[in-house]
Chains A and B, each alone.
Chain A
Amino acid sequence: MKHATLGEWVLYGAVCAYLLALYALPSDVWLGFTINALIVTVLSIAWNITGGYGGQMSFGHAALFGTGAFVTAILQVRLGVNPWLAAPLAIAAAALVAGVIGALSFRYGLKGSYFALVTLAFAEVLRILASSFSITGGGQGILVPYKAGVENLQFASRVSTYTLALALVALGMLVTAWMQRSRFGAYLIAIRENEEAAKALGIDTFRTKVLAMVLSGAIAGTAGVAYLQTFLFVDSQIAYGASMSVEALLGPMIGGSGTLWGPLVGTLALHLLGESAKELVSGAPGLNLVLYGVVLLVILRYLPDGLVGLARRVRLPRRAPAASMKEAR
């Protein structure tokens, strides 16, 4: 692993300082806003595994997020299952959906834009199904009764919910960090860089990509569960709508795709920007999303490695030869 540069220290330090400052100055507005951003970050972390590290860009991560949210909601409301049991089942369901989508797509050699489109189509199919059947609440969605208490995985205080969201982000980043140092991660990156070469070097590319989808699905499902437990409501548009799929990829693209901190940095930056824009124009609908689109364009044009890539280039002037020594450690 390469050592972090000065710019990276500053960037990650600022993010951590902001996240911790909310404990010192708890404001319901800021907590609510950040909880939302953190749940999206978990989804972004999921996207980053397949899209960032694996190079398999999905336009349909809502399919996984939504499955997590809907399965836990259905289990709780329709079958009376305890949320602590419903959560792992929902996460497993999301991982399964991811595995099926991945296995089908990769078996038939879909990649690049075609993979993106087929994932989007899967999410749309699920959205239409969810809006048509009564088990998912049809057009109305599912409302989970508010019964605060640890045994119901619901928290009365925003600070507790915030801590849970923060812990999930930390867990997601730990999984990513583990992956970066593992053979699985090395294989995934190799596939992104050159799939033919990866095959020639003994990598079972199909298996590796499907596994990445399953892992990504589990994390996206976790985000869905966290969303449901926080807002206690889900409908087909929230769960499977295109905006969730877009949110999943915006964070990593802007923060730095295929980097550990990219999803968190990107999602937080984007949400802060969107929120400030909303304040400036007093809540006009759409303008924050216009900004998201513009930021994505600017990043694609000028910062292909995202904010993390920019931070990496900010370093203390120092002895260049030290680089090879560090690598040898």
Chain B
Amino acid sequence: MSALILPAMLGGLTTGAIYALVALGLTLIYGVLHIINFAHGSLLMLALYGVYFLHVWLGFDPYLAIPIIAPLFFVLGYALQRGVIAPFSGGKEQNVLLVTLALSIVFDNLALYFWTSNTRTVAVSYAYTMVEVGPAFIPLPKVIAFFAAMLCAAILWLVINRTRIGKAIRAVAIEKRGAQLVGIEVEQTYAVCFGIGTACVAVAACLLIPTFYVTPQVGYAFVLVAFTTVVLGGMGSFAGALVSGLLLGVIEALCGLFLGETLGQIGIFVAFILILLFRPAGLFGQRTA
């Protein structure tokens, strides 16, 4: 048994990297807009279909699709925030949750209508190229995703902490009124931020699809995991999302190993409930008075 634990943990780390990637955009949106975007999983699903069709129709390699899909989803996210989420919720927190829930219902079922419930996969030659990592063999795309997650977190951190737009985003996140007073366009900044978050999820889709699949329901499987990652890491923290994503991947792998495959995800949800109840600021967040 113990011979299985280390490989399982390594496999869990790579799954966790994907969770972290998906959660990065969500944590950015939460940290700045202070809203919970329930449609995040559905946007991931749409991005997965985007990569899939680029590959099938135009022969794009999933990784080369990043420069196309990411800007496209930036625009989509920007438009959603400006055109739907902000005006339809009227700024009320609970309404945002309902509006994004409605959006996810619409996206998921449009996908079901147009693309049916068939499971689709992208066949790339390197999907089963194995990399030997210590005692385990891990598919190359997972190793790539692992390092890409760190790179993405680092890039996001740089954008937020070292650029002009990042400065505006931070200002809006901390003190909306004050930011408005010094001439920052809050609605514009919100939409840019939502756009960046959505672009992140598109990048995650490109990195995910070589070893994964897409169905209209796939987003839902990720949405709670992504929330767990965000809450565990402390809302709005990129490093937190990265670490907690990896941690959750390992938890899931170990639960799967000891409790059986179908019960793997239960570890994640139980962790989520416990974290919400006992440490709502996250494992790495500060306790607020």
Contacts and interface: CB of A to CB of B under 8 A. Distances in A.
Q: Give the secondary structure class of B's interface.
A: helix
Contacts of A59: 97, 101
**How many residues of B sit at the interface, in one of the four size bands?**
35 or more
B273 interface: yes
Interface in B99-134: 99, 101-106, 108-113, 116-117
Contact of A131 (B105, B110, B262, B270): B262
A289 B263 contact: no
Interface in B245-289: 260, 262-263, 265-266, 269-270, 272-273, 276-278, 280
A145 interface: no
B272 A296 contact: no
Interface stretch (A16-24, A113-121, A162-170): A113-121
A288 to B, nearest CB: 8
Given A105-B277, A108-B277, A286-B112, A117 B269 contact: no
Nearest to B270: A125
Contact of B88 (A57, A124, A246, A300): A300
B177 to A, nearest CB: 21
Contacts of A131: 262
A211 to B, nearest CB: 20
Contacts of B93: 112-113
B287 to A, nearest CB: 13
A290 B114 CA distance: 12
Contacts of B105: 246, 289-290, 292-293, 296
B263 A290 contact: no
A287 B220 contact: no
A50 B84 CA distance: 27
B94 interface: yes
Interface string A159-195: 0000000000000000000000000000000000000
B95 interface: yes
Contacts of A122: 273
B109 A113 contact: no
A148 interface: no
Contacts of B273: 104, 118, 121-122, 125
A125 B224 CA distance: 11
Interface in A92-125: 104-105, 108, 110, 112-114, 116-118, 120-122, 124-125
A182 B149 CA distance: 55
A213 B216 CA distance: 33
Contacts of B227: 117
A242 B220 contact: yes
Contacts of B102: 293-294, 296-297, 300
Interface in A252-274: 253
Interface in A293-313: 293-294, 296-297, 300-301, 304
Contacts of B109: 286-287, 289-290, 293
B94 A118 contact: no
B91 interface: no
Contacts of B208: none
Given A286-B112, A300-B88, A118 B266 contact: no
Contacts, number: 118
A253 B97 CA distance: 13
Contact of B260 (A104, A132, A246, A292): A132
Interface string B203-235: 000000000000010001000100110000000
B87 interface: yes
Contacts of A112: 93-94
B168 interface: no
A293 B106 contact: yes
Given A290-B105, A292-B105, A300-B89, A117 B36 contact: yes
Contacts of A287: 109, 113
B24 to A, nearest CB: 19
Given A128-B266, A290-B106, A300 B277 contact: no
Contact of B262 (A57, A118, A132, A292): A132
A261 B197 CA distance: 40
Given A117-B276, A118-B273, A300 B95 contact: yes
A246 B106 CA distance: 13
A289 B99 CA distance: 15
B260 A57 contact: no
Contacts of A128: 262-263, 265-266, 269
B36 to A, nearest CB: 5
Contact of B98 (A124, A125, A300): A300
Contacts of A117: 36, 224, 227, 272, 276
Interface in A6-63: 57, 59
Contact of B113 (A113, A285, A294, A297): A285
B98 A296 contact: yes
Q: Which of B88, B89, B216, B269 has the most CB of A within 10 A?
A: B269
Interface in B17-55: 36
Closest 9 CB pairs of A and B: A286-B112, A293-B105, A286-B109, A293-B106, A289-B109, A296-B102, A286-B113, A108-B277, A290-B109
Given A113-B94, A284-B113, A300-B99, 12 more contacts: A110-B280, A113-B93, A124-B265, A132-B260, A285-B117, A287-B113, A289-B109, A290-B106, A296-B98, A297-B102, A297-B106, A304-B90
Interface of B: 36, 84, 87-90, 93-99, 101-106, 108-113, 116-117, 216, 220, 224, 227-228, 260, 262-263, 265-266, 269-270, 272-273, 276-278, 280
6 contacts: A113-B93, A113-B96, A124-B269, A132-B263, A246-B101, A300-B99
